[in-house]
Chain A
Amino acid sequence: MTMKEYARDGEFNLADLLCCAASREVQDNEVVFAGTGLPMVAIMLAQKTHAPNLKLIFEAGTLDGRPAELPTSVGDPRCEMGASRSSGLYDAFAIAQRGYVDLGFLGGAEVDQYGNVNTTVIGDYLQPELRLTGSGGNPDINSFASRTVFIMVHEKRRFVENVSYITSPGWRVKKWPEGSWVPRRTLYGAAYRGGPSAVISTAGVFRFDDETGVIYLDTCHPGQSPEGIAELCQFDLDISRVSGQTPKPTYEELHLIHEVLDPEQIFIPKTAKG
């Protein structure tokens, strides 16, 4: 067994798999905008494996961060140690709007087939069944980064025809004040740099067609089938382009996640299954 070998079933859990899939979306030398939670572990994992020169920006104001210990939040003092500069939100968002950011990791409660995401309410906005956290920086990062990757729990109620509220813009969006559907590229003008490039759900990895902006299934996680995943979507999922199974974590990645990055199990539990 070498550290670069893939682990076998039973030696890793779902959070490990998602973390490694997210880490592999990062390329070296990229500027990456980090949110709280599993994405933070994924980015720090990339920093310690294939992307040692990636530059991490924390929304609260830390620029080119290399934290020694895992922060629990982007406002955490653990972000600052080793960073190029500690500043504030104006700097972080101005840098994003200026076009420096290559990749952002985001989450969502609902997603549609064009990558529009809702993190604001469940149900009618004016009579919500449940008010969630709100937009936060989700639409901002998704507006300005060249690529965004969403990490989501996969349930049929979350992969929907139309999200209850468009918090974060996908590939087909609404032009206000009239509210007509338009392609993202048409609306964004000078600010157009890209958009959602992948959704990593607890079932598989999804990507978006370059021309139409419609989601398709790329890889299935171990134990999942394309037909089974299609059943978990309210829209007709394109399963004609499946490239195979989501790569499993390597022993090196598992070591880094559990012994180096998150030994306290803040975001990634140590159980083999779960």
Chain B
Amino acid sequence: MAKKNKRISLQEAAALIGDGSTLTFSGFTIWRRPMALVFELIRQKRRDLHLIEVNGGPQTEFLVGAGCVAVWESCWVGHELYGKYGANVSRKVGTGELLVEDYSHAEMTFRMAAAAAGMPFSVSQSSLGTDLHNPAYDMLGRAGKRDGRDGRIARHKYQFMDDPFYGGGQYVLAPAPKIDVAVLSVQQVGEGGTVRVAGQYYTDPEVARAAKITIAVAEEIVPEEYLRRNSDANTIPSLEVDYIVECPWNAHPTGMFGRYDVDGDFLRDFYQRTRTQEGFDAWAQEWVFGQDHLSYLEKLGWPRTLGLKANSAVNYSTSVKRGV
């Protein structure tokens, strides 16, 4: 176990992510995203971020709407049931303020797994024959960013090769991403950095291992020895986690297995109000600027948070209204 004290504040965690960083997150679409830290990045006016996400979600939309992101490299963005596409990403692609590099979901997963294993690229037969592999749609290349000057950006978006071993046809090689910082939103982290995720772990083990700096924002910091009594139940080893932050309800408005459901009303309201930049700016004035995490929770209020709270037997809320 590392000797240093890994515990820091939300503000200190956000300050570790410099302008221009390559950044990724835990979670999946509208689940277990480190939103409290994302709000803090917006407050600190971070700029030119290069998000490399296995899939996007509200965190992408919030950061892109706030002008924090220059490049978004991923496969999907939206709010699932609560907003059918990423209106902020769509708007900023249209105005040329955001560069989007498209891969497929499996490609992003395999690329992140390659990075986590210290391998230079992933190999797959997914998405053969699609425009994902169209060389004319290499957007970082078109922008002149694949000249090797930035060591984090690969010289090619893809390379094609035939299976040299079994004659199995065409394969596609995609570069392992170079991640500066990964931020996780998890249920529990030990004082020494051991992470225990409950429920599906999405691509959290891969992103934690791939990043140079990994920050775990947890609902609770627990004694390290408590987690080490059942090490088989742990998800990410202590040595991959550099900093820990204790922050209850940190994933709101996204959901967290065993803790709280997605706040669908919040996401629907965001989606409807942020189609325009003026709408986003007004929304951010209301929910982000001039707030901190506690005042944000106060603004949400007890009735709302209690309605989202998960039932501990089934791990989701049994009172949240989901349908019509």
Contacts and interface: CB of A to CB of B under 8 A. Distances in A.
Contacts of A133: 76-78, 84-86
A182 B130 CA distance: 11
A165 B105 contact: no
B126 A143 contact: yes
A265 B324 contact: yes
Contacts of A192: 169
Contacts of A143: 106, 125-128
Contacts of A96: 106
Contact of B130 (A81, A86, A126, A169): A169
A188 B31 contact: no
A128 interface: yes
A169 B129 contact: yes
Interface string A24-68: 000000000000110000000000000000000011111000001
A90 to B, nearest CB: 5
B290 interface: no
A251 B274 CA distance: 42
Contacts of B262: 72-73, 76
B203 interface: yes
B140 to A, nearest CB: 14
A168 B75 CA distance: 12
Interface of B, secondary structure class, is loop
Contacts, number: 229
Nearest to B133: A176
Interface in B102-130: 102-107, 109-110, 113, 124-130
A173 interface: yes
Given A135-B132, A174-B129, A187 B255 contact: no
Nearest to B109: A89
A173 to B, nearest CB: 3
Interface stretch (B87-95, B174-182, B188-196): B87-95
A104 B268 CA distance: 28
A93 B323 contact: no
B253 to A, nearest CB: 13
A74 B77 CA distance: 15
A144 interface: yes
A266 interface: yes
A218 to B, nearest CB: 25
A140 B83 CA distance: 23
A133 B110 CA distance: 20
Interface in B277-324: 310, 314-316, 321-324
Contact of A89 (B28, B84, B136): B28
A189 B126 CA distance: 12
Interface in A100-148: 120, 125-126, 128, 130-140, 143-144
B80 A182 contact: no
A134 B125 CA distance: 19
Given A61-B202, A76-B316, A176 B135 contact: yes
B96 to A, nearest CB: 9
Contacts of A134: 56, 74-77, 102
B151 interface: no
B102 A135 contact: yes
A62 B200 contact: yes
Interface of A, secondary structure class, is loop
A77 interface: yes
Contacts of B206: 88, 90
B129 A175 contact: yes
A86 B31 CA distance: 15
B259 to A, nearest CB: 9
A153 interface: no
B77 A80 contact: no
Contacts of B56: 134
B160 interface: yes
A8 B51 CA distance: 52
Nearest to A58: B200
A143 B133 CA distance: 14
A189 B170 contact: yes
B200 A81 contact: no
A99 to B, nearest CB: 11
B102 to A, nearest CB: 6
A115 to B, nearest CB: 11
A89 B105 contact: yes
A76 to B, nearest CB: 7
A131 B131 contact: no
A207 interface: no
B126 to A, nearest CB: 5
Interface string A228-242: 000000000000000
B126 A139 contact: yes
A219 interface: no
B248 interface: no
B258 interface: yes
A272 interface: no
Closest 10 CB pairs of A and B: A189-B169, A173-B129, A190-B168, A264-B323, A140-B106, A191-B125, A75-B31, A136-B76, A139-B127, A75-B28
Given A73-B81, A75-B30, 15 more contacts: A72-B80, A79-B200, A88-B203, A88-B204, A89-B105, A93-B109, A97-B124, A133-B85, A135-B102, A135-B105, A137-B75, A143-B128, A144-B126, A167-B130, A174-B134
7 contacts: A60-B200, A75-B27, A75-B32, A80-B257, A135-B103, A166-B129, A191-B168
